[in-house]
Structures are given as structure tokens and as C-alpha cells.
Structure 1
Amino acid sequence: MPKTKCAIIGSGNIGTDLMIKIRETSAHLELAVVIGIDPESEGLARARSLGIATSHDGIDGARMLPEWQEVRIVFDATSAKAHAYHNDICRMDGKYMVDLTPAAIGPYCVPVVNMEDHLDQQNVNMVTCGGQATIPMVYAVRRVSQALPYAEIVASVSSRSAGPGTRANLDEFTRTTKKGVEVIGGAKRGKAIIILNPAEPPMIMRDTVYTLSEGAEETEIAESVAAMVQEVQAYVPGYRLKQEVQFERFGHNSPLNIPGYGMFSGVKTSIFLEVEGAGHYLPPYAGNLDIMTSAGLATAERLAIKHFGAAA
């Protein structure tokens, strides 16, 4: 069965990592075009060395390439601002989009939670690297609870792994991740914080998830979290708990007062994660690249299987 041809818009850290992943690991996708705006970028140079068609004139230049006509799935690894234009072009040209920016034009997609719900959509949004790492944990708590009044995530990544596109998207990162925590994770209220850590040597990606839940026992939550970690590891092997899940219970005789919510009785859960990258492009400290590109690749492969006859 022939592979489904795809293109990547963006030749920075995310796009280059994704290019290597597709070339080295994908059973269903063939990378036909890599698109950038800097003719001297390392990503475009690497693509050319591999015999992949390139454009340094953005998506408009790519449309002039004969290879563009055969592309069925397009990854966008640029910026939230640029994605709106890219999506308009791809919609007009009849191509599916996997959006790795925080633009959130299409529905949010976290593979282990809701990927199958959105495979008929022309555009699916992969939230953010922090969202891909933490939303599965929020959902793991929510699925065994009666209610999840609040969830907060803190994503800490090495500043070395944050390229210009990531830095330009920091405001969109916090807004999109917060909404993803609510829409996909199931929290009534969410909060998201990102930290670009300048430590040398670079630190591995670390994520902390705090939830306040009602109607679940600590053992149920711990089991649900452990099961979800294994599900994520199916496509991100370096995803793991840093330490055991921690709990604090607030009884009716000593409730917690949450501003904007009121008095809370239930369980506070603290989940500590780290994500080690596969090292396809940047070294393993760049788990933020790995979890984002791995999630996008997993989603695109399911699109290829469903819509273009790729063998399951």
C-alpha cells in the first residue's frame, strides 16, 4: 500500500524534528515537501540533502511545486498568526491539516483522549507541547471523578528548545492550553503556566499537574494516572512520572475556599512528570519537541489510514 504524501510548513525546531520522525519512523506517511521562509535555514538545507522538495517562499511558493498536488496532509509548525492563512489555502486546495501551533482553528486533539472524535475534520489542533503532556493527566483524574472543579498545569522547558516560533506564541500557548485543560481535560476551570528554563546544561522537560476533584478515591486516581501514562508511552516512550502521585484531602469540616468557585471538599492531586525526547533532532532534553511532533504524527497517521487507504 503506497504511503500518503504530506508536507510540513515551518523549518524550525518543530518542523525539523517532525521531518526526521516521518522519514525514520512512519509506516504510513511520505514527506513530499518542506516549506519555510528562510532559504538558509538548517531545516530546509537538511530537507534538500534528503532529496525532499522545498520552498523558501512559504506556502505560496510551495503551491507552484508539482509535488504539492500530491500532498494530502499538511503539518503547520509555524505560528498561530500565520496558521490562519495556511489553513485558508489548504482548505481551498482540499488538504487535511494537523496544526502544531496554538491557533486552535480546528478542534483540540490529544491522541489518547479524543483523536478518534475528530478524524473527519479538515483541521485538527494539537494544542501545545505543555497541553499534550498534561491534559492526559487532567483527563485521567476527571474520568474517575464526579467533578473536577479546577486543574492547573505548569510546563517547564529548556529555553534552548524554544525557537522563535515558540517564543512568539507564548500568549497563545497559555490561552490555548488553559482552554484545552477545560475542553478536553474536563476541568471546570483551568490555568496554564509555561516556564522557559535557561539552566545550563539544559534541563529535561518537566510538567506539574494540580487537580481538585470530587467523588474519587486516591487509589482510583492513582490507577487511572498510571494507566494513562502507559497509553501516552505508546507514542512518546520518554513520558513518565517523576515520582509517586501525591494527595491531600479536604473534608467537609475543613473545606478549601476557591476564589470564583466557593468552598471545595474533595481531593487535591499533584502529578509530577518528565518528558525525555527521542533525540531525533535536538538532544533528549527537548521533550517538548518530541511530545508535540509525536502527537501530531500519530494523528496524521490515523487520518491517512481513515481517508487515504493506508494499511492499519
Structure 2
Amino acid sequence: MNGKVKVAIIGPGNIGTDLMIKVMRNARHLEMGAMVGVDPQSDGLARAARLGVATTAEGIDGLLGLDVFNDIDIVFDATSAGAHKRHNDLLQAHGVQVIDLTPAAIGPYVIPAINLEAENATNMNMVTCGGQATIPVVAAVSRVVKVHYAEIVASIASKSAGPGTRANIDEFTETTRSAIEKLGGATRGKAIIVLNPAEPPLIMRDTVFVLSELADEGEVRDSIEKMVASVQAYVPGYRLKQQIQFDVIEPSKPLNVPGLGPMHGLKTSVFLEVEGAAHYLPSYAGNLDIMTSAALACGDLMASRRMAAGIARGKLESTQ
């Protein structure tokens, strides 16, 4: 036994192909088993075939028919929120661990720096690229003080947004908003995504605005900086763009927060950038890198848990 479990990736687009390369280069407990798509001319399928990975252009049904499927323990779904439900239903019926890179949010939200160790569901949702980048900051503030409102703006290069991303804009904003509240700890959240068409393409930039109760600014700053370091452990290109900014909102000049009304307290502004590792696309595609890096961290932990529990499908015969 080589200490690794086989995985399949559904969706050979930008995210799926980048994730495949990460699995092959950086995974501790994972190895590629199959790449799945629906377009026989897909560059991602062709690249997978050149790398010796089993492929099918017949979607989830093609995956179920592959000889290697009996050895697949984990499937990453990098397609769309609409397609994910059927994929998940079929895979769950075969006892396969599902890691969802779409905004479908069937399973619990997972952001490695916040709650990876605490979650162990059969379907794990990676939120969104903007959520992976910004919600850790909101959670860092929540560890110090009560957060009333958090608003995030994710700006990504238009060239790094494939068809799946563009088709899921509404799901992106809703899923990210929900995760800001559930994982970030904000009473109210808001998410905005900007597809920037600038040439040359700009690196991913994220802005986080947090309105909380008054707190010691030094404690808030320390908490955010520690969280940034935690994210950097699996996304090396993640960093603060400039110093954290604080503003005290006086009761006499409150901010009107939709759904909450006039609010005052401490406003914390955080400016981030995410430089991609350029495994598949150029370094400006940090939005892809943070999603695939988070998924890889999740997959490695799920694989180690499945092997420890003796439920890794492809390893059962070799351990009996």
C-alpha cells in the first residue's frame, strides 16, 4: 500500500485542471484516478490523458462505468451548482467522499483555516473563491469581538473566470453571504464579485469591511495577522496588501446597515491579494489557486481519516 487513495475530478476546466496538477505535485495522501468531463475536445481531458490519468467525456455516468471507479474514494466536483446535486446523490450511493467546489452548499461550509479539523461530513462544500479569501478575516475579528456586519468585495481577472464561474454568479453571492454569517460569525453579511476585464489581467484582490462592537485595535490586528498566516500555510500567495485600517463609528454618526438599521462601533478595513501558484493558469488567477488549495487541504485530511477508519474503498483488499 502506498499510503494514498485515488480521487476523481469532475469538471476539466480551469479549476479542475489546476486541482489535478496540485494533486499530482503536492498531495500527501491523494493520487489521481480519473478526470471527468462532457466535452471530448476539452484541454483538461487531453492534459489528463497525457499525464496517464483515466478520462471520460461522458460525465458522471462515464465515471461510474470506468474500471478505476471501484478504487475511487474521493471525488472533487468542479462543475456547477445545478449539476452537483445529481453528482452527489450518485456518489453518496457508492460510499464516495464528495468535496464540492461549486456554490451548491449541500454539505457544510469548509474553510481550512477556520473549521477543517472540526468537520467530517460526506459532502464538504468549499464555499467560493471570495469566501475562502475573505471569511477567515471576518472570523478573526469575531474571535475578539461581536461582529454586527461584514461586507466583502472579491475582484478577479475576467480571464480567470470560466463558464462555471460565470454561470454561478447568483449562487456565489448567496453562498458567500451565508458563509460570512455561519463561519465568519457576522450577524449580517454581504458579498460582491467583480470580474475585471483589465489588460494585462490583474491579480485577485479582496476587500473586507467589518463593523463590530468596540474592541482593542491591537487585539483585532493580531487576530487577523495570525489568521492570514494560517491561510498562507496552504495558500502561499495569500497576503495583506496594506496595513489594517480602523475607524470608530460614533453613535451620533451611525452607519445604516440593511436589515439591522443604524449601527455604531469599530469599523475594520482589510485589503488582501491572492497570487496564484501558476500550476495551470498564470499567477493572476489567485481565485483558482485559493479554491484548489483549500480543496486539496480538505481532500488530504479526508483521505487520512478514511484510511485510519479502514473505509478507503481502494485500500480494503490490500489491508485485509
- TM-score, normalization by structure 2: 0.94
Cα shift readout 1:190-211 (whole Å, capped 9, x = no counterpart): 0000000000000000000000
- Within a 5 Å distance, the mapping from 1:142-221 to structure 2 comes to 142-145=142-145, 147-221=146-220
Separation of aligned partners in 2, 1:264 and 1:178: 19
User: Do the aligned partners of 2:35 and 2:56 also contact (CA within 8 Å) in 1?
Assistant: yes
Q: Secondary structure in 1 aligned to 2:107?
A: coil
The percent of aligned pairs where both chains have the same amino acid is 61
Deviating beyond 6 angstroms after TM superposition, the runs of 4 or more aligned structure 1 residues are: none
Distance, in Å, in 2 between the alignment partners of 1:131 and 1:69 is 33
Could you report, residue by residue, the CA deviation over 1:45-71 in whole angstroms, capped at 9, with x for unpaired residues? 000001100010001011111101100
The answer to whether the aligner puts 1:234 opposite 2:233 as a matched pair is yes
- Over aligned residue pairs, what C-alpha RMSD do you find? 1.1
1:72 aligned residue: 73
Equivalent position amino acid for 2:138 in 1: V
CA–CA distance in structure 1, aligned partners of residues 262 and 83 of structure 2:
43
SS, match of residue 72 in structure 1: strand
Which residue of structure 2 lines up, in the alignment, with residue 299 of structure 1?
Answer: 298
Map of 2:139 onto structure 1: 139
**Would you say the 8 A contact 2:149–2:257 is kept in 1?**
no
Matched residue count = 308
In the other structure, the counterpart of 2:315 is none
Distance in 2 between the 1:259 and 1:42 partners?
A: 44
| 2:143 maps to amino acid | R
Query: What is the CA-CA distance between 1:259 and the residue it aligns to?
Result: 4.0
The residue aligned with 1:46 is: 47
Question: Residue type matched to 2:250 in 1?
Answer: G
AA in 1 matched with 2:122: Q
Residue in structure 1 matched with residue 316 of structure 2 by the alignment? none
- Uncovered stretches (5+) of structure 1, i.e. residues with no partner: none
Q: How does 1:7-46 map to 2 (within 5 A)?
A: 7-46=8-47
Shift in Å, 1:253: 4.4
Per the TM alignment, residue 217 of structure 1 is displaced from its structure 2 partner at its CA by 1.4
User: Aligned letter for 2:155?
Assistant: S
- Structure 2 unaligned segments of length 5 or more: list them: 310-320
Check whether the contact 2:24–2:32 (CA below 8 A) recurs between aligned residues.
Answer: yes
Give the superposition deviation at 1:118: 1.5
> Helix, strand or coil for the counterpart of 1:302?
helix
Q: How far 1:256 moved relative to its partner?
A: 3.3
Q: Deviations over 1:224-254 (max 9, x none)?
A: 1111110000000000000000110023444
* DSSP 3-state at the match of 1:38: coil
Aligned residue in 1 for 2:99: 98
Partner of 1:113: 114
- Provide the residue aligned with 1:124 in structure 2: 124
